[in-house]
Amino acid sequence: MFKNKKTFKMAIVSSMAALMLAACGGGDSKESSKDVLAQIKDEKKIVFGVKHDTRLFGLKNPSTGEVEGFDIDLSKALAEEMFGSDVKPEYKEVTSKTRVGLLNNGKIDAVVATMTINEERKKEVDFTDVYFDAGQSLLVKKGSKIKGLEDLKKGTKVLAVKGSTSAVNIREKAPETQVLEYENYAEAFTALKSNKGDALTTDDAILYGMAEEDPSYELVGGTFTEEPYGIAVKKGNKELVDELNKALKSLKDSGKYDEIKSKWIKE
């Protein structure tokens, strides 16, 4: 009797714990589907999700505390183009892992964070036109045996970032290599520097930033994918996408886009 009672108690407690967890799942906040554009105008601010760890695109400058980069300057110009000085642009840090979640629960209005447009993501978010053309490449220590994709044989290790398309691509293009995935580019690059892998893979634009930071590393093998970056907004906000596209086009026409681009990216 005593034994039965105990097993019973145990079952109750564990199922309660499981239920509590499952109940949290109900918190999927998809109901707050208010129009994002209207909300931006209402609150007089637009919140951009940007990277804080990606040189040239979005990097927090430790001495000023400001986030700087192509993505930041471009989104600032876009906000000005769309709303004049009525709407204040604000920035929140995102990573490849968090950006879609933050967009869907309304913490940010648009993602300008080196995000590649692809079919899978189009099911989750709406993209604007391409704002930057990148391609995936490899970063290695100068003098490395790895000269390109074909050298990624069995026994080699490639470092990538969790949630990025490059991690998926490299598994397809070099199926024999082992892929290790890290939280962000800074960690992946640190891991490369301490010899945890033979090469680091992501978009060339980001790799150029790393090679600039530490010139003992270089890009090899050219680009082997096309990575068109787009601005992502919450699914179903066509008006906001149209506005962004219009602003992007006029920035390109006026030469402002090239000005921002050449400030950051020197190929």
Partner 1 sequence: MLDFSILTNNMDSYIEGFKITIYASLIALLCSFLLGTLIAVMRIAPFKPLNWLGTAYVEFIRNIPVLVIVFFTYLAGNFGGMTAGTIGLTVYTAAFIAEAIRAGIMSVPKGQMEAARSSGLSYGQAMRLIILPQAIKIVIPPLGNQFINLVKNSSLLAVVAGGDLMYQGDLINAKTFSPFDTYIIVGLFYLILTIPLSFGVGFLEKRLARSN
Segment contacting partner 1 by CB under 8 A, of 7-15, 55-63, 85-93, 147-155: 7-15
* 85 touches partner 1 (CB under 8 A): no
Residue 99 near residue 115, CB atoms below 8 Å: yes
Measure the CA–CA gap between 193 and 180, rounded to whole angstroms.
14
Site string for partner 1, 150-189 (x = CB under 8 A): ---------x--xxx--xx-----------xxxx---x--
Backbone φ, ψ for residue 87 (5° rounding): -110, 130
Measure the CA–CA gap between 112 and 71, rounded to whole angstroms.
6
Angle 49-119-59 from CA coordinates, rounded to 5°: 25
* 97 touches partner 1 (CB under 8 A): yes
HSE of 176, CA atoms in CB hemisphere, 13 A: 8
Segment contacting partner 1 by CB under 8 A, of 23-31, 73-81, 132-140, 219-227: 23-31
* 214 touches partner 1 (CB under 8 A): no
Closest CB to partner 1 among 121 and 256?
Answer: 121
Q: Bridge partners of 132?
A: 229
Closest CB to partner 1 among 83 and 185?
Answer: 185
Q: What are the tokens at 57?
A: 């695109």
- In the DSSP assignment, the letter for residue 127 is E
- Footprint of partner 1 (CB under 8 A): 10, 13-14, 17-18, 21-22, 24-28, 96-97, 100-101, 124, 159, 162-164, 167-168, 180-183, 187, 190-191, 194-196
